[in-house]
Every structure is written in structure tokens, then in C-alpha cells.
Amino acid sequence: MNANSRILLAHGAGGRLTHELITSLFVRCFDNAPLAALDDSAELTLPCGDRLAFTTDAYVVQPIEFPGGDIGRLAVCGTVNDLATKGARPIGISAAMILEEGLDRATLERIVRSMSAAAKEAGVELVTGDTKVVERGAATSLYIATAGIGVIAPGINLSGRNARAGDAVIVSGTLGDHGITVMNARQNLGFEGDIRSDAAPLNGLVDHMLSAASSVHVIRDLTRGGLATALNEIAASSGVRVEIEEEVVPVRNSVLAGCQMLGLDPLYVANEGKIVAFVEAGRAEAVLSAMRDHPYGRDAIRIGSVVSGEPGVILKTPIGGARRLLMLDGDPLPRIC
Amino acid sequence: MLMKNSAGAVAALRRAPEFAREVLGDIRQLSERACRRTGRDTVQIMEVCGTHTMSFAQSGLRGLLPDTVRLLSGPGCPVCVTTAADVDRTVWLAHQPGVTLTTFGDMLKVPGSTGSLADASASGADVRVVYSPADALDLAAALPDREVVFLGVGFETTAPLVAATLLRACETGVRNFSVFPLFKLVPPALRAILAGRSHQNDGFVLPGHVSAIIGLAPYSFVADEFGVPGVIAGFEPFDLLEAVRLLLNLVTEEPARIAIQYTRGVPSGGNPAALRMLAESFDPCEAVWRAVGAIAESGLAFKKHLAEFDAARKFPGMPACDAPEPKGCLCGAILMGRALPADCRHFGTTCTPETAVGPCMVSSEGACAAAYKYGFTETSRWKKFGRPRKEATAP
Amino acid sequence: MCLAIPGKILTREGQTGRVDFGGLIRQAALDLVPDAAIGDVVLVHAGFAIQKVDLSMEPEIAERLGVSC
């Protein structure tokens, strides 16, 4: 069997195959500089010289409602976050709703109200949209495709290509909450207690960071593929070596227990309200304290640095060992051995 | 990982790097002493269990061990040792009319000769991942019009769970539930390894959770008949450090014996309730291990009173053909501790986790998958493991 | 080859209990640990408790599970 001859679920899992598909097909065929940057949103320059961030995203999560969020909140937050990681102030979002024939009207209303609430929280409006209904079975309840536009203020230049030797690596909070929550709901794992999705709009948090220092080089939101995949993308784009300390990476006990039970590594589990930032080391403390002043950055912590050496990501373990951290391979599945 | 809910960090002495350094120092001294005695340049230790393989790699411990200690991965990964023919039979079961096939996530992507359960699912079979056999039984109760089949893979740790689930099925009268038994037993595999002419094991790190069920006695033949010591180990990095140190002590002791490092989870008598459940539900039978071959009394067959739950009986006509192992694949030799992943010409070239040729690369805890995922670092010791190709023999 | 993690039994009704893994709670089958009682720490593998655990040497795990030692 040739893994490259057909599209597999793993091509959509946000890991190595996704990355390969994007670079070897989309980037090559569409061939332009804003796309080739492979950031969460493209940077476009208007004739007057002002810069826009432009992003699009599709949401197909199952189930559509889960503790801490739903597909609507996810769609708005994900779009806002893709703009925010370029340092852009979101000015408008679109939403195309693909509905399955027979979808419960009350469910749709809940999702739409949740989108509205998330937009209000982020201070952005849903200004245009589209509605399609497909035959029962052609979609599962509902899918949402969004686009978002934001304005990048002069002087702000955030990109995955900007990491430099000496940078401090910071995460905004605990990892894996969203992925474990959704996996529990999807696979009926029967987990209860302290697990909920972290879905949140992070533009306010990014504002705090950027006002604290102009020395923020990279911000990336940690979605599918988790921290490990995001760090690998940044290390590759910037051509740098990233070293992180396993012991300081924040993970909730409940999420860690869920990961251990299912044989998953929290470094590869999805988040929807967390970012990783690369910041000039001298300003790291200032940025951290600005982050901790924001409700979505209270657990922000420095987890590592950019060091000299061959590009890649190295994880230093609590017992003094070190190992290479690779991108997500395939789709994480619960396992017992 | 940082514990976010902890009220305050407890001084966990055994997690500290100083503890690791101290034990690693002992490991160096002890292994050098053992090498002087044997006249060889390494002490070869087989970690039987796939979860240990992963812990050694994930914790970075593999890279910290001195050159005088060489780790060999054993046959303790149920996914790795399930034959392609058994995967084919499982896929056949999944395609039977009215069948909902339930499996641990581990088995979903393992390829047989005609594809995997994931492929079967893509072409319309009803395949569902469950976390527990109890969940599979609940599903059967919830879907009375379907025949729910549970794929029974695993070792002594997992088999009693399935036996207990079948007792529950009897009690609750759920009849649309069956199990395809592919269980394997660890001690007979160890015997097969030790009986091999060319085994090179100075000691075993023995599986902690299998031992939580079976206890210490079933391993005593390893020391008594073959003179090889073993240590039943836990899964935290400090467990492995302590286990290797203890094992190196035993390597130079006479007579050889089996010891328990994982005392918090393994009483020497194991779990009597689980052992009783095993004895009442199964008879040992010959089982075929992928890339290794048939090993006597290394599998489990249902006793007569549970035969109605045997999917192989419930669905007659299961294909019998046996698919050959891929050409040049060294998985058999690797599972028996005679070769290392880097010895194989497929490793990292034609065989990667996404294009796996052999079972050790398919399973997320297989020796090759671990070597591929964690191996390529400066601290990696896999390069040092590279031995002349002629020593490694295909099965 | 077999993932199992320790958790504390919160409730026990016959063969089924609720087990706390440090904030994450899941039902577990207790068929294989007939003498395990509420408050005991057990190793859980694939939804079944397979053994009682003594955590007196592991303060960190004990604290995470809220077990005094």
C-alpha cells in the first residue's frame, strides 16, 4: 500500500502528512509568497501601504457540542486566533454554514448564539455568510467554513520565520485540554470531572503581549498536532533549533491522567485557546507578566529557548536525558498498550 | 510535566536529575564489572514489554545508559505479534453481515495482507474503537440487532478483563456479543527466546503489568533452568533506572534469580482473583506469533462453557490462508532480541510509521517505531547498536 | 505492553466503582479486585482495576490522587 496514493484521515490530522500535502501540492500549485510563508493567516499589503491579515478555516468537529465549547465557538475563536497570531486586529468574519438535512433547529440556534457570544467576546462582528443544506448523510449535522480579515498595525511583524537564537519560548497555559475533551466525547470514553475545552479568542491576550514589548518574534496558536508540531513548523520555517524542558510544560493533572490512560502524549494533543510565543530573552519576563495579567494567559510560562545548532526540536527530560521531538505522525488514537 | 493542580511540589527525590546521575553511575560501574567477568563489551538486557521500550525512549534514558549496557526489545507488544493472517481474519469478521467490530485503538491501522481494520471501516464495515471490553459489552446491550465482536488482543494483563466481561455477559444474558481470541502469554515466549541457540540475553526487564496479574513464580524457570536473571519493573523513569541497576547486580550474582522492583504494584503472588478467572475461562493453546512462528501453549482458547462467545465458532468459514512476512523484514529477529531495528535494510527507508513494512514499525510501541521516532538524536545510541549485517538473520 | 495507571476508588457498588485519577473520574470494573474498598488505590488497565497499589513510596503520585501516605 502506498500511503501517498490516497487521501487518508491522517492528511487532515494536522501532523506530518498534512504539512506534506500542503507544501507539496497547495503551495507548489498556488505558488505565491503570502501562502508560502505558511503562517496561520496570509499577510496582504493594500495599495496605500496598510497591511491586512487574511485567513480561512473549516470546522468539522464531532460531536458539535462538548464541555467548554461547541463547533460555533470553535469557528469564531479559531478564526480570530489565526488573525491574532499575526498581531492583527480582527475587523470582520464570514461564516458559511453547511447544514445536514434534518438538523434540529434548536441545535442550530444554540450554535449560532454561541458564535455570536464568542464574536462579542473577541470584539469582532460576523459580517457576511452563506447557507447550504445537503442531503442527510452528505454531512454530519453541520460544518462551518469561515474567513477573517484583520489589520496589522505598523511596526508589527510576527511570522513563524522570525525565531532567532536566544529567543525564549513561552506557552500561554495548560496543554491538551481541548483534544482530550473532544476525544472523550467522540469515543464515549466515559471521562468525567475536570476536563473541558479551552476554546477561547486570544486577540486580547496578544494585545497585552504586544503592548508589553515589540520584541515578540513569533506567535502560533496550538491547534491540531499540538505543541510538538507547532514547534517543528517554527523550527523549520526559521531554520533554528528549539530546546524545551519537559518538566515545565504545563498540563492539567486530569488531562495528564487521560493521556496516560490512552497512551497519548499531551505535547501532540490539540488545543483551541493556547499559543506559543518566541520572544527576545531579555524581554521574556515583561511579556510573561503581561500575559499573566490576562485571563487567558494566567498560567503562561517559559518552557525553553532557541539554541544554536542544527534545526529541529529537542525535549529535555526530567532525568537529564534529551530526545528529538518530531511532528505528529498520523492521527492520535486511544490505545491500551 | 508540571502538575498544575498540585498544592505544592512534593520533594520527589527519585525524580530529580541527581538521583538519575547517581544511579547511572552505579549502572556504569556494575556493567563494567559484569563485562570484565564475561569478557564481552556489553551487558545485553532485553526489555520484554513494549511499554518499557517506549518509556526507555521517551524519558531519554536510552540515550543516558553507558555503552556497556545494550537494550534489546522483546516480543511484548500485542500488536506486533499479531499475525497478518489474524488481521485478515479480523477484517473478514468486520465485513460479515450485521457485525459491529470493536477493538482497542492499537489494532486499527495494523495491515494484514488485504488491508487494515481502518481500511475495512473506510469501505463500509462497522468498526469502532473502545477503551474497555466492558464498553464493547455495553455497546452490544445497546445494539440488540447487531452482532458485536470484540477483538481480544493482549497478554495476561488483558485476558482476565475479557474473561470477566464474558461472565458479565452470561449474568446479564447478552447473547449478541462474542470475542475473537488472539491472546498471547509472556512466559512461553521467553522460553522460546532462551531455547534459541543464539540468544544473547544477560538479563530481562520483565513486564510490570503482566506481572501484576501473574506474579513472580511463572518466571522462575528463566533463572532456574537458563541461569538468566530478571527484574519485574515499573514504568516511570526512576523505576527503569532502579530496575536496570538491580538487574546488573543480579547479573553477577550466583545463582540467578528473579526480583521485583515494581513492588507497589506487583505482589509476588500476582492477582489470585484474576488468575482464577483465567484458569476458569481459558485453556492454553498453541499460538502463532507474527514474524516468529508457532509457540506451544502461548495462546489462550476458551473453555467449553464459554464457546458460545467464541467469534471463530459463531462465524464459521473464517479464511485460513497465511500471508507470508514481507521480504527482508527483520521483525522476527528483532522481537526475539537477535537483531536491532537499524540492522534492517527497510528501516527508515522503505519502512517508516506511515509506510510500515513490518509489525515493529506499525505498532506505536514497536521497537522500530520507537527507534524511528526517538532515535535520531545526538544522544541516540541506536547508531552504536549498528552491527555487521551478517549477524542479523531474517526469520 | 499494557498501560495501567493508578486511581483512587471513590465509590463501589458491586463490581463497579468510580475511580479518581487526579481530577479525571471514570467508571472502572472491580471484578478482579474483590477486596478493594473505597479509598484504596488501584491500577486500572482498559477500564478494569487489576491490582491494589501501595503508594507509600511515591509521595508525588499519592498527592496527585489525594491519598495520604
CA dihedral sign, ordered A69, A72, A73, A74: positive
- Pairing of the two strands B69-76 and B230-232: unpaired
What structural domains does chain C harbor? 5-64 (2.30.30.140)
pTM of the model: 0.90
Indicate if the pLDDT at residue B18 is higher than 90.
no
Q: Which of B116, B100, B186, B199 is nearest to B150 (CA)?
A: B100
How many helices (H) and strands (E) would you count in chain B? 18, 12
Q: How confident is the model at residue B369 (pLDDT cuts 50, 70, 90)?
A: confident
Residues of A in contact with B160 (CB under 8 A): none
Task: State whether A191 and C2 contact (CB < 8 Å).
Answer: no
**Interface contact B234, partner C, CB < 8 A:** no
Give the neighbours of chain A: at least 3 Cβ pairs within 8 Å. Answer: B, C
What is residue A194's predicted lDDT score, i.e. its pLDDT? 86
Q: What is the pLDDT of residues A270-305, one digit of tens each?
A: 999 999 999 999 999 999 999 999 999 999 999 999
Angle between helices A105-122 and A71-84 (to 10 degrees): 30
Nearest to C45 among B77, B157, B165 (CB): B157
Give the neighbours of chain B: at least 3 Cβ pairs within 8 Å. Answer: A, C
B265 with B234: CB under 8 angstroms?
Answer: yes
- The Cα–Cα gap between C66 and C20 comes to 9
Indicate if the pLDDT at residue A48 is higher than 80.
yes
Q: Average pLDDT, stretch B82-103?
A: 95
Grid cell for residue B145: 440487532
Q: How confident is the model at residue A213 (pLDDT cuts 50, 70, 90)?
A: low
**Interface contact C27, partner A, CB < 8 A:** yes
What structural domains does chain A harbor? 41-152 (3.30.1330.10), 168-324 (3.90.650.10)
Q: Average pLDDT, stretch B23-37?
A: 95
Compute the radius of gyration of chain C from its Cα atoms: 11
Q: In three state form, how does the secondary structure of B184-199 look?
A: ECHHHHHHHHHHCCCC
Task: State whether C46 and A191 contact (CB < 8 Å).
Answer: no
Indicate if the pLDDT at residue A318 is higher than 80.
yes
Indicate if the pLDDT at residue A113 is higher than 60.
yes
**Interface contact B271, partner C, CB < 8 A:** yes
Look at domain B13-326 and name its CATH class: alpha beta
Q: Return the number of CB contacts < 8 Å for A and C.
A: 54
The owner of cell 495579567 is A293
Q: In three state form, how does the secondary structure of B255-289 look?
A: CCCEEECCCCCCCCCCCHHHHHHHHHHEEEEEEEE
Indicate if the pLDDT at residue A155 is higher than 60.
yes
- The Cα–Cα gap between A74 and A62 comes to 12
Nearest to B105 among A174, A252, A335 (CB): A335
**Interface contact B354, partner A, CB < 8 A:** yes
Q: Average pLDDT, stretch B248-276?
A: 96
**A202 vs A38, A175, A208, A304, A308, CA distance in Å?**
20, 15, 10, 22, 31
Strand, helix or coil at B26? helix
- Pairing of the two strands B258-260 and B230-232: parallel
Grid cell for residue B239: 523505576
- The Cα–Cα gap between A257 and C22 comes to 7
**Mutation for A interface: C1, C11, C24, C42, most A CBs within 10 A:** C24
Range of lowest pLDDT (A137-151, B308-322, B335-349): B335-349
- The Cα–Cα gap between C37 and B359 comes to 41
- The Cα–Cα gap between C39 and C10 comes to 6
What is residue B371's predicted lDDT score, i.e. its pLDDT? 86
Nearest to A334 among B62, B118, B131 (CB): B131
- The Cα–Cα gap between B205 and B47 comes to 5
Grid cell for residue B254: 550466583
Angle between helices B367-374 and B50-58 (to 10 degrees): 10
The owner of cell 552504536 is B384
**Interface contact B165, partner A, CB < 8 A:** no
Residues of B in contact with A299 (CB under 8 A): 4
- The Cα–Cα gap between A292 and A285 comes to 10
What is residue B200's predicted lDDT score, i.e. its pLDDT? 80
Q: Average pLDDT, stretch A33-43?
A: 91
Q: Return the number of CB contacts < 8 Å for A and B.
A: 139
Q: What is the pLDDT of residues A17-37, one digit of tens each?
A: 888 899 999 999 999 999 998
Strand partners, A216: A279
Q: Return the number of CB contacts < 8 Å for B and C.
A: 114
Task: State whether C2 and B51 contact (CB < 8 Å).
Answer: yes
Nearest to A253 among C27, C44, C64 (CB): C64
Indicate if the pLDDT at residue B205 is higher than 80.
yes
- The Cα–Cα gap between A223 and B123 comes to 29
Residues of A in contact with B376 (CB under 8 A): 324
Output the average pLDDT for chain C: 90
Please name the helix (run of DSSP H) or strand (run of DSSP E) that holds residue B322, with its range, or none: none
**Mutation for C interface: A251, A260, A333, most C CBs within 10 A:** A260
Give the neighbours of chain C: at least 3 Cβ pairs within 8 Å. Answer: A, B
**Mutation for C interface: A192, A194, A196, A255, most C CBs within 10 A:** A192
**A25 vs A17, A21, A30, A36, CA distance in Å?**
12, 6, 8, 12
Q: Average pLDDT, stretch B264-288?
A: 97
Task: State whether A329 and B353 contact (CB < 8 Å).
Answer: yes
Q: How confident is the model at residue B343 (pLDDT cuts 50, 70, 90)?
A: confident
Q: What is the pLDDT of residues B156-182, one digit of tens each?
A: 999 999 999 999 999 999 999 999 999
Task: State whether C46 and A336 contact (CB < 8 Å).
Answer: yes
In chain B, what percentage of residues exceed pLDDT 90? Answer: 62
Q: How many residues are given for chain A?
A: 337
Strand, helix or coil at A40? coil
How many beta carbons lie within 10 A of that of residue A131, not counting itself? 9
Q: Average pLDDT, stretch B227-236?
A: 96
Strand partners, A279: A168, A216
Nearest to B63 among A323, A329, A335 (CB): A323
- The Cα–Cα gap between A57 and A66 comes to 20
- The Cα–Cα gap between B168 and B166 comes to 5
A127 with A20: CB under 8 angstroms?
Answer: no
Bigger pLDDT: B200 or A26? A26
**Interface contact B106, partner A, CB < 8 A:** yes
Task: State whether B277 and C45 contact (CB < 8 Å).
Answer: no
Q: How confident is the model at residue A128 (pLDDT cuts 50, 70, 90)?
A: very high
What is residue A275's predicted lDDT score, i.e. its pLDDT? 97
Torsion, Cα B393 C2 C3 C8, to 10 degrees, reads -160
Task: State whether B168 and C32 contact (CB < 8 Å).
Answer: no
CATH 3.40.50.11740-classified regions of chain B: 13-326
- The Cα–Cα gap between B295 and B304 comes to 22
A168 with A281: CB under 8 angstroms?
Answer: yes
**Interface contact A249, partner B, CB < 8 A:** yes
Task: State whether C26 and A190 contact (CB < 8 Å).
Answer: yes
At residue B19, what are phi and psi to the nearest 5 degrees?
-60, -45
Bigger pLDDT: A25 or B375? A25
B148 with B177: CB under 8 angstroms?
Answer: yes
Output the average pLDDT for chain B: 87
